[in-house]
């Protein structure tokens, strides 16, 4: 702002203040025992650099003053905090650091800053319970400021310098970034301020000093994406952004949650709701942007205000077009909701020095200079309505490593471009585009929909015409990554190997964003009251939303993960494709993995470079081997599920038929527990490591064992057997454990000499370790668990039947001990004999009453 504007802003304030600046506001009392407010000109002096906006801000040297217009007192203001810049190890520049609703409130000659929550409300303010809600939800005072002077219309002027240079605990970055550090006020300062009509942005430099109390420091309040901060130096300096954004005085009309459609949610408990219990009075709203048609009568209309995403200036220039295309990949979904050009990608303005990616007004795809290999899509929502106010997709620079490894592993068989590193920029850009589109989906309100990868027949995923029309997965919000089912002979174009905005995404966007006409007060029966409040309007949408949701009954590819499934539905598997039939899909996927082995070295080994890429890609092969077979293991003791409400007949959960579970166990015996010799390559191993090949295979196999022996899975198998009307149709836990033992210990069968190799011995030790761990595990405690999908279900996962499971596992170990003893008598191989002796000793200690778990653990320690 020019000097002329600074001068005019100060003059306007002085002209308006009159005698108020000297005597204070009408009825105000001077504070007891201290100096009261000063005349305006003695506080906001001629040297002040003033800016007009939501608040009038004044910089005087190192000091920052807020002049808060009286109309902005007692109003909801959203504070969005982000790390703008930081010391290496102290988080990442561009990382979110929380948000909350605040209010400035004047009491006498002080201004209090209160933290506002909407977790409990009384929507009917005339209901007597509203008093109780107020009494039980007093806004906490986060900060108090003496009033330095009064400006126009009794606007209090307060000094906020210390608030930003030594922020209170609620707004400090230290609990999240460095719990054992404290802010040093002598090395902290307010950097700059930008003021606008609807918001104020303040940047402060904070120096964090170690307190030497790392051992007793509390854990961070919420998880931070990627590894925890790793500050090792005595000090770290971060630049924090505090963006104050005025909330709309009239919140957006919310849209009700529905378990059949996967949106993030905002929940409030309404004590004046119509239900008899508090559960019935929890109001659940989906998270969505405010979107209104410019022409309400048009089937397809431009929005009044489009959803705009800016591309971070830090984004490498060659990737910007792909990021922008990813944002606008969602336009067809909004067209299904009746909006044209509803979502737009823009580059930041070049001529606006106050433009900032941390500004709470802007949604931005941030490009973060970090070695973390991931991306996230956090958003900031109005707690009163679920309105998405601001969204910052966080794209960490090293995500390119992950997507490149994914694409080689899943797609090299079908795309020759993936068989050589580095990829062409056009291919890498396309991979980044799919990642960004997924994260943008989160910021639009969408949850993951892992079920969408199980809604098509496996054979259809090999058909180019089907894929062109339906994609290989119904939603880009699934963790399906790439189509590994397609085979080279299918002729699937590489573009169809990648996730794209799919049928579910378009349908769910219509469900959440399409306008719904609701009765106006004048149309209500009996002449109507003054108006329908936002909750009544939301309820009036319910019949239409229900009708739209029931379209899933005829179009199953529109389904969302079932609420309260707790991981039981094998179709909700992550990192899976074609999990309607995991056996068939995995058989095809393994063929492609085997094909990849021929390209591992040629893809990664270059003259003048070491073998780091080869080692990473080889390890990825083993990891995906375990993941694919884990999808098969989920059939065992698994369920198929369909979200239903009371008017829909039939069960929500149906056990997987016995024949399919038996088939899955046979497949695992053949492909998981028989040594995958195709994954063993001496030439590669000798280039990347002196040893570790056996452990790599054993760890992958141990991961599959862990899936099968999961307490929840075994508990389901017990429950399915107990509830079955015909137990002959049930694949029991006893049968599964017996089949598993035979698959792992094939050498014990027959009457010939038993011989094992290093791979088999490693697998068998992993088996005994897994059973020992569960037998000696502490009793589980009841705790809330993710429901596996859905938005309205908040159940607590049932406790496992630990006693029943342990009894069966002990039985298996006793049977195994007898078989090992018999085999040991007929073996002549020294390594096999030593292995059998060790296993029997570990079994004996595991089964000995009162023996500590550490005794058997010392014999069979965990694998690295």
Residue 65 lies in a domain: yes
pLDDT band for 230, please (50, 70, 90 cuts).
Answer: low
Residues 716-725: tens digit of each pLDDT: 999 999 999 9
Residue 125 lies in a domain: yes
Higher pLDDT, 811 or 221: 811
Residues 545-555: tens digit of each pLDDT: 999 999 999 99
pLDDT band for 435, please (50, 70, 90 cuts).
Answer: very high
What is the 8-class DSSP label of residue 300?
S
Average pLDDT over residues 731-735: 98
Structure tokens at 715: 């508990």
pLDDT band for 525, please (50, 70, 90 cuts).
Answer: very low
- Whole-angstrom CA distances from 225 to 218, 311, 337, 375 are 18, 21, 33, 9
Lowest pLDDT segment from 94-103, 449-458, 481-490, 499-508: 94-103
Higher pLDDT, 616 or 354: 616
Q: What integer pLDDT is reported at residue 477 of this predicted model? A: 97
Place of tokens 């319970």: 129
Angle of helix 802-826 relative to helix 830-847, nearest 10 degrees, comes to 150
Place of tokens 């126009």: 152
Q: What integer pLDDT is reported at residue 494 of this predicted model? A: 97
Q: Give Cα 185 to chain centroid, integer Å.
A: 35
The average confidence (pLDDT) of the chain is 89
- The number of folded domains in the chain is 1
Q: What integer pLDDT is reported at residue 782 of this predicted model? A: 58
Average pLDDT over residues 688-706: 96
Average pLDDT over residues 108-114: 97
In percent, the amount of the chain with pLDDT more than 70 equals 90
Contact status, residue 806 vs residue 777, Cβ threshold 8 Å: no
Residue 449 lies in a domain: no
Instruction: Specify the pTM.
Output: 0.90
Average pLDDT over residues 802-814: 96
Q: What integer pLDDT is reported at residue 369 of this predicted model? A: 86
Q: What integer pLDDT is reported at residue 276 of this predicted model? A: 81
Residue 114 lies in a domain: yes
Q: Is pLDDT above 90 for 97?
A: no
Residue 383 lies in a domain: no
Lowest pLDDT segment from 133-137, 309-313, 351-355, 782-786: 782-786
Note down the domain range covering 22.
Answer: 3-246
Q: What integer pLDDT is reported at residue 791 of this predicted model? A: 44
Q: What integer pLDDT is reported at residue 213 of this predicted model? A: 61
Residue 438 lies in a domain: no
Place of tokens 């379209």: 551
Residue 817 lies in a domain: no
3-state secondary structure of 740: helix
Lowest pLDDT segment from 337-351, 459-473, 564-578, 787-801: 787-801
Residue 232 lies in a domain: yes
Alpha-carbon distance of 292 to 301, in angstroms, equals: 9
Average pLDDT over residues 220-241: 68
Q: What integer pLDDT is reported at residue 415 of this predicted model? A: 98
- Whole-angstrom CA distances from 565 to 451, 651, 654, 739, 791 are 11, 13, 11, 26, 12
Residues 285-325: tens digit of each pLDDT: 999 999 999 999 999 999 999 999 999 999 999 999 999 99
pLDDT band for 177, please (50, 70, 90 cuts).
Answer: confident
């Amino acid at each position: 702002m020019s000097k002329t504007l600074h001068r005019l802003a100060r003059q306007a304030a002085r002209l308006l203040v009159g005698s108020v600046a000297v005597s204070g506001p009408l009825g105000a009392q001077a504070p007891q025992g201290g100096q009261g407010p000063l005349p305006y000109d003695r506080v906001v002096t001629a040297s002040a650099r003033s800016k007009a906006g939501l608040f009038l801000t004044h910089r005087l040297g190192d000091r920052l003053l807020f002049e808060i217009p009286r109309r902005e007192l007692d109003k909801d203001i959203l504070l969005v905090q982000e790390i703008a810049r930081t010391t290496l190890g102290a988080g990442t520049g561009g990382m979110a650091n929380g948000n909350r609703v605040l209010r400035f409130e004047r009491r006498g000659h002080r201004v209090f800053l209160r933290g506002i929550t909407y977790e409990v409300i009384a929507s009917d303010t005339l209901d007597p319970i509203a008093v109780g809600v107020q009494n039980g939800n007093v806004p906490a005072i986060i900060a108090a400021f003496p009033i330095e002077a009064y400006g126009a219309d009794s606007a209090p002027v307060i000094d906020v310098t210390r608030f930003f240079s030594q922020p209170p605990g609620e707004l400090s970055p230290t609990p999240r970034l460095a719990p054992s550090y404290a802010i040093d006020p002598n090395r902290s300062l307010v950097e700059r301020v930008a003021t606008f009509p609807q918001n104020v942005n303040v940047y402060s430099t904070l120096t964090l000093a170690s307190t030497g109390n790392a051992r007793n420091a509390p854990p961070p309040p919420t998880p931070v994406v990627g590894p925890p901060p790793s500050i090792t130096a005595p000090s770290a300096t971060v630049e924090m952004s505090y963006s104050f954004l005025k909330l709309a005085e009239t919140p957006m009309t919310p849209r009700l949650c529905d378990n059949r459609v996967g949106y993030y949610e905002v929940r409030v408990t309404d004590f004046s709701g119509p239900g008899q219990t508090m559960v019935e009075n929890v109001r659940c709203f989906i998270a969505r942007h405010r979107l209104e048609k410019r022409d309400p009568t048009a089937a397809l209309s431009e929005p009044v205000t489009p959803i705009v995403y800016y591309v971070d200036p830090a984004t490498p220039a060659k990737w910007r077009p792909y990021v922008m295309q990813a944002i606008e990949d969602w336009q067809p979904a909004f067209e299904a909701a009746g909006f044209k050009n509803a979502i737009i990608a823009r580059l930041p303005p070049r001529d606006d020095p106050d433009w900032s990616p941390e500004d709470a007004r802007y949604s931005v795809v941030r490009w973060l200079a970090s070695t973390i290999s991931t991306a996230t899509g956090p958003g900031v929502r109005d707690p009163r309505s679920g309105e998405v106010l601001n969204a910052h997709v966080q794209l960490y620079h090293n995500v390119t490593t992950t997507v490149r490894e994914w694409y080689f592993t899943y797609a090299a068989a079908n795309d020759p471009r993936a068989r050589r590193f580095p990829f062409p920029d056009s291919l890498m850009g396309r991979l980044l585009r799919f990642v960004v589109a997924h994260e943008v989906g989160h910021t639009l309100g969408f949850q993951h929909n892992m079920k969408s990868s199980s809604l098509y027949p496996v054979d259809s995923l090999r058909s180019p015409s089907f894929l062109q029309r339906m994609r290989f997965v119904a939603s880009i919000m699934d963790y399906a990554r790439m189509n590994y089912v397609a085979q080279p002979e299918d002729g699937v174009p590489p573009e169809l190997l990648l996730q794209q905005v799919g049928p579910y995404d378009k349908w769910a966007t219509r469900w959440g964003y399409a306008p719904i006409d609701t009765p106006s007060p004048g149309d209500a029966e009996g002449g109507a009251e003054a108006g329908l409040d936002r909750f009544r309007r939301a309820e009036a949408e319910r019949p239409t939303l229900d009708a739209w949701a029931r379209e899933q009954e005829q179009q199953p590819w529109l389904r969302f993960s079932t609420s309260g499934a707790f991981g039981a539905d094998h179709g909700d598997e992550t990192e899976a494709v074609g999990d309607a039939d995991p056996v068939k899909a995995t058989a095809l996927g393994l063929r492609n993995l085997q094909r990849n082995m021929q390209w591992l070295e040629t893809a990664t080994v270059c003259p003048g470079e070491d073998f780091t890429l080869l080692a990473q890609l080889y390890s990825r092969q083993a990891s995906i081997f375990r993941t694919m077979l884990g999808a098969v293991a989920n059939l065992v003791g698994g369920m198929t599920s369909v979200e239903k409400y009371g008017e829909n007949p039939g069960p929500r959960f149906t056990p997987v038929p016995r024949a399919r579970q038996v088939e899955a166990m046979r497949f695992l015996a053949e492909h998981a527990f028989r040594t995958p010799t195709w994954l063993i390559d001496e030439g590669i191993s000798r280039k990347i490591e002196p040893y570790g090949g056996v452990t790599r295979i054993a760890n992958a196999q141990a991961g599959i064992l862990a899936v099968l022996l999961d307490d929840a899975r075994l508990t389901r198998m017990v429950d399915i057997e107990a509830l079955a009307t015909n137990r002959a149709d049930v694949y029991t836990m006893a049968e599964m454990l017996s089949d598993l033992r035979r698959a792992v210990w094939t050498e014990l069968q027959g009457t010939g000499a038993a011989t094992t190799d290093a791979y088999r011995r490693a697998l068998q030790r992993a088996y005994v370790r897994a059973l020992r761990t569960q037998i000696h595990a502490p009793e589980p405690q009841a705790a809330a668990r993710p429901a596996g999908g859905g938005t309205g279900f908040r159940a607590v996962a049932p406790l496992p039947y630990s006693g029943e499971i342990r009894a069966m596992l002990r039985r298996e170990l006793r049977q195994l001990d007898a078989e090992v003893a018999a085999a040991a008598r007929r073996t002549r191989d020294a390594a096999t004999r030593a292995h059998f002796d060790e296993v029997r000793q570990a079994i004996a200690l595991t089964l000995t009453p009162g023996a500590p778990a550490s005794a058997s653990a010392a014999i069979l320690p965990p694998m690295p």
